[in-house]
């Protein structure tokens, strides 16, 4: 028996399992990164569910008390919180709907249609992404004041419709769709709008979902422009309203934590509802250059 065991070639012997140190290291880095990224959100909710009447303690609150005192003071003492939530919802949904419709149509035109100056116009639009938003604030304010939209939701929504990132996103995605589908539909007598509505748009669902998520999150969290345009408390969006809960001499941080937690909640629900389409859109190259 000893002779039989030693006669087996070394290459045929079963190799001892190797420890995949590279995989373990990568997983460790990912877990640590995820914990660091999620900790601020956890800390926010931990403070929101812990009774805090003034300044939070110096030691971070890691284990929440699971009480609703902060939320009761927020909803009972903040007169316009429902208005702020509704205003943010109107702004985010309106701008998202606009970008989903307009950017998809424009992306289709730049990706599949041929017209003079197409590439030049696209690169001019793309170059506007390089302009810092702070450079445009004063001209935007003068234009918004000139057309009488200061302190209105229209003044918040209108500049948001001019962002060209969505056009770039949709163009890159639609370029990956086979042109044979359009040609076959055109041979069957379909017009441009029918080709777009019945062929292109259904194939763009992952990219449209990704665009909707990007746009909704961005304008739900937008703070600077609404802060400049809106003056009356009842017209504030949620981000501006929560920021104004901070007092001049004393701040109830428990109320601010609870307000911020409620403001973050729709974002979390929105992302969880559409994460399948978002991940699919990223995987299929919706945002590749």
Are the C-beta atoms of residues 158 and 95 closer than 8 Å to each other?
no
**Cα–Cα distance measured from residue 56 to residue 44, given in angstroms and rounded to the nearest whole number:** 12
pLDDT of residue 1: 46
Residue for token digits 């408390």? Answer: 233
Quick one: 133 exposed, middle or buried, by C-beta within 10 A (0-12, 13-18, 19+)? exposed
| Sequence-distant (≥ 6) Cβ neighbours of residue 239 within 8 angstroms | 88, 221, 222, 223, 226, 263
pLDDT of residue 142: 93
Widest CA span of the chain, in angstroms?
98
Could you give the 3-state DSSP secondary structure of residue 212? helix
pLDDT by residue for the chain (289 residues), tens only, comes to 445 445 555 555 556 667 788 888 899 999 999 999 999 889 889 888 988 766 666 677 778 888 888 888 888 878 888 899 999 999 999 999 999 999 999 999 999 888 898 989 999 988 888 888 888 889 999 999 999 999 999 999 998 888 888 898 889 889 888 888 888 888 888 888 888 888 888 888 888 888 888 898 889 989 999 999 999 999 999 999 988 887 766 778 888 888 889 888 888 887 788 777 667 666 655 444 4
Are the C-beta atoms of residues 241 and 258 closer than 8 Å to each other?
no
pTM strictly above 0.75? yes
């Amino acid at each position: 028996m000893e002779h039989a065991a030693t006669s087996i070639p070394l290459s045929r012997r079963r190799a001892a399992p190797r420890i995949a140190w590279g995989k373990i290291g990568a997983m460790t880095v990912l877990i640590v990164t995820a914990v660091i990224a999620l900790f601020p959100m956890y800390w926010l909710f931990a403070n929101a569910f812990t009774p805090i009447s003034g300044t939070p303690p110096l030691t971070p609150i890691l284990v929440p008390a699971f009480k609703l005192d902060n939320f009761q003071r927020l909803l009972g003492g903040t007169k316009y919180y429902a208005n702020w939530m509704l205003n943010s919802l109107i702004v985010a949904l309106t701008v998202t709907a606009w970008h989903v419709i307009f950017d998809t149509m424009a992306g289709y035109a730049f990706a599949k249609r041929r017209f003079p100056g197409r590439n030049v116009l696209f690169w001019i639009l793309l170059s506007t992404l390089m302009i810092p938003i702070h450079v445009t604030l004063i001209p935007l304010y003068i234009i918004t004041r000139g057309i009488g939209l200061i302190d209105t939701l229209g003044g918040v929504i209108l500049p948001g419709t001019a962002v060209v990132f969505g056009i770039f996103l949709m163009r890159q995605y639609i370029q990956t769709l086979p042109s044979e589908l359009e040609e076959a539909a055109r041979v069957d007598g379909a017009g441009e709008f029918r080709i777009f509505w019945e062929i292109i748009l259904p194939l763009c669902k992952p990219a449209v979902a990704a665009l909707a998520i990007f746009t909704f999150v961005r304008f739900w969290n937008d703070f600077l422009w609404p802060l400049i345009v809106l003056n009356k408390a009842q017209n504030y969006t949620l981000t501006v309203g929560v920021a104004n809960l901070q007092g001049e001499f004393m701040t109830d941080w428990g109320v601010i934590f609870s307000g911020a937690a409620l403001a973050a909640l729709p974002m979390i629900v929105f992302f969880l509802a559409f994460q399948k389409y978002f991940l699919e859109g990223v995987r299929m190259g919706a945002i590749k250059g």
